């Protein structure tokens, strides 16, 4: 069975790969959106924290023999703490300035983290084994699905849904939304906004660290694995708008699939298709698909 | 919002004298290669022009572009192609690069100014990444290997530029011309309008200025001059490579500008020289250089936002502490 001259299996395989990439885009743009919403900081270091998560999982495995599943808890915690420290000692000082300084500051952190890992770990990739229980494929009837990739997509959906529930349905989420809309007023009601900012940054980058652990068995763990990704995520954020949690998730997954399709039909464009979509969206709907016009 | 130029307590005559001494030193430099290597000097001049051209947008129009590597590296590729594959004379090849990046800059501008501030930065970054991948996949660029060796060609078809010192004077002339143009643009009525837009865009719009057109022209000018710097670097090193279009280069030029001082015309050139020196003399340290540059970046943002020249101007024009305005309000020093 061919679809536009492409064998069915190959097409499904690429859509699958696209969904996996899209899962990472979704989780990363989600974290970016939350951080931007509250802190007004575009976190360039998001990709670096993603890389840090993957490295923590890799290193605790190598030096302490800790397996994949505990690492899935440990790595986001370590990344979250690193993020909290960075927020306390650096980001906090520039909230009153133009947001562009936030972009520059986090860019500096990217250089430090990437350079640091390159010094100590080298530039080449480190292979990371897929956990034993996740090896092999299942036959879905219409395609063969590698179990681990299915798991990644499932986890991404769970994380996005979980974040949405936390933000929309819990008291903590209500504080967060209040502080996003009116920080001074929220503070006046007795809510400790500075701590909320710190925790939000920590949680946002912990999400990136979690995505890094998920990515470790798929990509080789290497210092530049995050920054190329984060630029694509920026484009996705421009396409989707930083407005909504669901918007980021849908845009992320959707663009992953578009990228996968581009690989099948016109592989030269696969690296640029996201940016082309961005240009198109800017021309037709400058505020982004789900965005509100920023003030 | 309204603020007056911070007056330099250095008289115009002293400034002129300083520039003349600098020019004399630069003119004499190629005759003393044992003191400073001319190729390295040319590289620093290229980066100085690049940073000052970049600052047209950042410092004077308040537009953050995170995609200037596309202009710097893109122009190098076009010049390299014209020299190596088309066999054009050097000045035509450089002009081709400049023309290409001016158009590319206008295209970036048209798309990017549909959003503002931080979104605009992300858009330029994404567009530059698209340019990066396009060059990576084009047939003439040699992908990861880059284009090399590129012949330097003959100026006007006559003067052979393979001799370093002849090339040096061409580069010096082009860079001085470029910097003069930057200064001219900044201190022109056009530059005033750009600053008006930076300070209060709705007001500038309500005064009848076609804000979008001004921004796009600023983009094109900045891109074209950045392209001139990239083309010159390509001719100097006989090489056009991916590092020049990579987003690290966009970050580098931001750092040069911040470090030198973005509220000035020639401050970024100081930053460019400092960063080039750092990269040159500590090259052996490998990835540590990246870490150090990252730390400088962080320090510049946290404690040193005026930059070197901004700090100097601030010290020179120090008034009683109460009269000092916050740095954000500081107007461009007219140097």
pLDDT of residue B222: 95
Mean pLDDT of A62-79: 88
A258-286: average pLDDT? 83
Contacts of B115 in chain A (CB under 8 A): 238, 282, 286, 294
Interface check B304 vs A, CB under 8 A: no
Closest CA to B293 of B306, B282, B304, B302: B282
8 Å CB contact of B294 and A115: yes
| Closest-CA residue to A127 (of A197, A247, A57, A219) | A219
Residue B39 to residue B167: CA distance in whole angstroms: 9
User: How many domains is chain B built from?
Assistant: 1
Question: Which residues on chain B are in Cβ contact (under 8 Å) with A93?
Answer: 302
Question: How confident is the model over A205-217, as pLDDT tens digits?
Answer: 999 999 999 998 8
Between B109 and B26, the higher pLDDT residue: B109
| Residue A292: closest C-alpha in chain B | B115
Kindly determine whether residue B129 and residue A282, on different chains, have CB atoms separated by under 8 Å.
no
Residue A113 pLDDT > 70: yes
As given in the structure block, the two tokens for residue A124 are 């080449």
B298 touches chain A (CB under 8 A): yes
How far off is chain B from A196, nearest CA to CA, in Å? 22
Q: What is the mean pLDDT of residues A250-276?
A: 85
CA distance B265 to B179: 9
What is the pLDDT, as a whole number, of residue B319?
A: 58
Chain B residues within an 8 Å CB radius of A272: 130, 133-134
Q: Using only the alpha carbons of chain B, give its radius of gyration.
A: 20
pLDDT at A213: 92
Strand partners, B282: none
Query: What fold does the segment set A2-120+147-284 form as a domain?
Result: ABC transporter involved in vitamin B12 uptake, BtuC (1.10.3470)
How far apart, in whole angstroms, are the C-alpha atoms of residue A28 and residue A210? 10
- β-strands A144-146, A137-139: how paired? antiparallel
B92 occurs within a structural domain: yes
CA pair distance A12, A205, nearest whole angstrom: 32
Q: In this structure, are residues B152 and B165 in contact, taking their beta carbons and an 8 Å threshold?
A: no
Q: Does residue A122 come out as left (phi exceeding 0), alpha (psi in the -120 to 50 range) or beta?
A: left
The tokens describing B252, both together, are: 């580098």
Quick one: pLDDT at residue B7?
Answer: 46
Decide if B158 contacts B164 (C-beta within 8 A).
no
Q: Which range (B119-128, B226-235, B278-287, B324-333) has the least confidence?
A: B324-333
List the single range of A225-239, B124-138, B314-328 with lowest mean pLDDT. B314-328
Confidence of residue B214 (pLDDT cuts 50, 70, 90): very high
Residue numbers of B between 34 and 93 with CB closer than 8 Å to A: 64, 66
Number of other CB atoms surrounding residue B145 within 10 Å: 9
Overall average pLDDT of the A118-134 stretch? 81
User: According to the model, what pLDDT value does residue B6 have?
Assistant: 47
B23 has a pLDDT exceeding 70 = yes
Is residue B112 a contact partner of residue B127, using CB atoms and an 8 Å limit? Answer: yes
**In this predicted structure, what is the pLDDT of residue A2?**
63
CA neighbor of B230 nearest in space, from B71, B109, B51: B71
A269/B contact by beta carbon, under 8 A: no
Cα dihedral A237, A241, A244, A248 in deg (nearest 10): -30
Asked if the structure places residue B256 within a domain, the reply is no
State the pLDDT at residue B253.
Answer: 93
* pLDDT at site A3: 65
Average pLDDT over all residues of chain B? 84
**Residue-wise pLDDT tens digits, A17-55:** 888 889 999 899 888 888 888 888 889 899 999 999 999
Compute CA distances A117 → A112, A123, A207, A242, B64, whole Å: 9, 8, 20, 30, 29
A30 neighbors A163 (Cβ within 8 angstroms) = yes
Before B149, cis peptide (omega within 30)? yes
Which is more confidently placed, B263 or A211? A211
Cα B190 to chain centroid distance, Å, stands at: 19
Q: Which of A94-98, B33-37, B54-58 has the lowest mean pLDDT?
A: B33-37
Q: Do the beta carbons of residue A41 and residue A104 sit within 8 Å?
A: no
pLDDT at B248: 87
Residues 142-161 of A with CB under 8 A from B: none
Cβ within 8 Å, pair A104-B258: yes
Contact B148, B242 (CB under 8 A): no
**d(C-alpha B186, C-alpha A104), whole Å:** 24
How far is the C-alpha of B211 from the C-alpha of B296, rounded, in Å?
34
Q: Spell out the alpha helix ranges (H) of chain B.
A: 12-28, 38-55, 69-84, 90-112, 117-137, 164-186, 189-199, 201-206, 211-237, 247-260, 267-281, 287-303, 307-316
Q: Residue B154: phi, psi to the nearest 5?
A: -115, 135
Q: Are residues A92 and A35 in contact, defined by beta-carbon separation less than 8 angstroms? A: no
CA distance B151 to chain A (A): 30
pLDDT interval class at B330 (50, 70, 90) = very low
Lowest mean pLDDT, pick from A17-21, A154-158, A242-246, A271-275: A242-246
pLDDT at B9 over 80: no
Q: What is the pLDDT of residue B8?
A: 47
In the structure, what pLDDT confidence band is assigned to residue B333 with cuts at 50, 70 and 90? very low
Of B139, B64, B141, residue with least CA distance to B108: B64
Calculate the average pLDDT of chain A. 85
Tokens at A264, concatenated: 């099948």
Max Cα-Cα span within chain B = 62
- Asked if A250 contacts A92 with a C-beta cutoff of 8 angstroms, the reply is no
Q: Would you state the pLDDT for residue B3?
A: 43
**Helices within chain A (DSSP H only):** 8-39, 46-64, 68-89, 99-121, 147-169, 171-181, 183-188, 193-215, 227-240, 245-265, 273-284
Contact criterion met (CB < 8 Å) for B122 and A42 = yes
Nearest residue to B218 (alpha-carbon basis) of B252, B244, B199, B192: B192
Nearest-CA distance from B62 to chain A in Å?
A: 10
**Domain assignment of residue B95, yes or no:** yes
Going by C-alpha positions, the residue among B255, B330, B267 that lies closest to residue B300 is B255
Is the residue at B68 inside a domain?
Answer: yes
Nearest by CB: A111 against B66, B291, B305: B291
Residues of chain A numbered 36-65 and touching chain B (CB < 8 Å): 42
Q: Inform me whether the pLDDT recorded for B179 exceeds 90.
A: yes
Tokens 């393979």 sit on residue: B162
Is residue B317 assigned to a domain? no
- B126 domain residue, yes or no: yes
Distance of alpha carbon A148 from alpha carbon A136, whole angstroms: 8
Instruction: For chain B, say whether A87 makes contact (Cβ under 8 Å).
Output: no
Nearest to A111 among B66, B294, B301 (CB): B294
Task: Say yes or no to pLDDT of A226 above 90.
Answer: no
For residue A7, what pLDDT is reported? 75
- Between residues B4 and B55, the one the model is more confident about: B55
List Cα–Cα distances, B32 to A280, B25, B35, in angstroms: 54, 10, 6
pLDDT at B219 over 90: yes
Question: Which residues 6+ apart lie within 8 Å of B34 measured at CB?
Answer: none
* Whether B58 contacts B119, CB under 8 Å: no
- Domain range for B232 is 36-247
Complex prediction ipTM = 0.84
What confidence score (pLDDT) does residue A231 get? 86
Mean pLDDT score, B284-307: 87
Which tokens hold the place of A81? 């703490």
Residues found in chain A: 295
Which residues of A are less than 8 Å from B286 in CB distance?
A: 118-119
pLDDT digits (tens, 9 = 90+) for B144-166: 777 878 887 777 777 777 777 88
Q: Give chain B's length.
A: 335
Parse chain A into domains and list their residue ranges.
2-120+147-284
């Amino acid at each position: 069975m061919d679809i536009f001259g492409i064998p069915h299996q190959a097409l499904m395989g690429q859509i699958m790969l696209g969904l996996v990439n899209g899962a990472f885009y979704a989780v990363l743009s989600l974290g970016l959106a939350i951080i931007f919403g509250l802190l007004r900081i575009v976190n360039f270091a998001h990709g670096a924290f993603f890389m840090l998560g993957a490295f923590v999982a890799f290193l605790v495995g190598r030096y302490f023999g800790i397996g994949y599943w505990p690492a899935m808890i440990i790595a986001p915690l370590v990344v979250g703490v690193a993020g909290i420290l960075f927020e306390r000692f650096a980001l906090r000082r520039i909230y009153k300035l133009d947001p562009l300084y936030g972009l520059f500051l986090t860019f500096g952190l990217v250089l430090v983290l990437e350079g640091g890992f390159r010094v100590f770990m080298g530039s080449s990739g480190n292979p990371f084994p897929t956990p034993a229980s996740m090896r092999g494929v299942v036959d879905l009837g219409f395609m063969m699905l590698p179990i681990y990739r299915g798991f990644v997509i499932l986890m991404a959906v769970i994380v996005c849904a979980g974040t949405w529930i936390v933000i929309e349905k819990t008291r903590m989420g209500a504080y967060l939304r209040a502080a996003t809309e009116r920080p001074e007023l929220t503070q006046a009601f007795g809510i400790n906004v500075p701590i909320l900012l710190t925790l939000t940054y920590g949680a946002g980058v912990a999400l990136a660290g979690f995505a890094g652990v998920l990515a470790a068995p798929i990509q080789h763990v290497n210092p530049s694995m995050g920054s190329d990704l984060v630029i694509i995520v920026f484009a996705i954020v421009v396409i989707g708008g930083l407005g909504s949690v669901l918007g980021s998730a849908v845009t992320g997954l959707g663009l992953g699939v578009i990228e996968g399709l581009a690989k099948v039909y016109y592989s030269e464009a696969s690296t640029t298709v996201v940016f082309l979509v961005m240009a198109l969206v800017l021309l037709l709907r400058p505020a982004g698909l789900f965005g509100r016009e920023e003030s | 919002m309204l603020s007056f130029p911070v007056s330099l307590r250095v008289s115009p005559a002293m400034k002129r004298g300083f520039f003349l001494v600098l020019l004399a030193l630069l003119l004499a430099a190629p005759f003393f290669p044992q003191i400073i290597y001319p190729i390295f000097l040319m590289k620093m001049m290229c980066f100085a022009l690049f940073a000052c051209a970049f600052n047209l947008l950042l410092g004077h129009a308040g537009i953050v572009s995170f995609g200037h590597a596309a202009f710097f590296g893109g122009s190098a590729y076009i010049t390299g192609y014209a020299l190596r594959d088309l066999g054009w004379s050097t000045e035509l090849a450089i002009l081709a690069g400049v023309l290409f990046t001016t158009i590319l800059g206008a295209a970036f501008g048209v798309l990017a100014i549909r959003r503002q501030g931080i979104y605009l930065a992300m858009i330029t970054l994404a567009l530059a990444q698209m340019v990066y991948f396009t060059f990576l996949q084009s047939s003439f660029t040699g992908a990861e290997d880059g284009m090399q060796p590129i012949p330097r060609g003959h100026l006007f078809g006559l003067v052979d530029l393979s001799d370093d010192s002849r090339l040096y004077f061409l580069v010096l002339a082009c860079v001085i011309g470029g910097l003069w143009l930057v200064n001219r643009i900044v201190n022109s009525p056009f530059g005033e309008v750009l600053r008006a837009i930076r300070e209060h865009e709705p007001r500038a719009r309500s005064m009848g200025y076609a804000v979008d057109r001004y921004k796009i022209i600023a983009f094109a000018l900045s891109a074209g001059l950045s392209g001139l710097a990239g083309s010159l670097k390509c001719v100097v090193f006989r090489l056009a490579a991916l590092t020049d279009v990579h987003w690290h280069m966009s970050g580098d030029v931001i750092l040069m500008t911040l470090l030198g001082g973005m509220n000035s015309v020639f401050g970024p050139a100081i930053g460019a020289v400092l960063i080039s020196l750092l990269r040159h003399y500590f090259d052996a340290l490998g990835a540590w250089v990246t870490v150090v540059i990252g730390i400088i970046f962080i320090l510049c943002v946290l404690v040193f936002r005026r930059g070197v020249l901004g700090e100097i101007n601030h010290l020179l024009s120090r008034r009683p502490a109460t009269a000092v305005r916050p740095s954000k309000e500081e107007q461009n020093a007219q140097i």
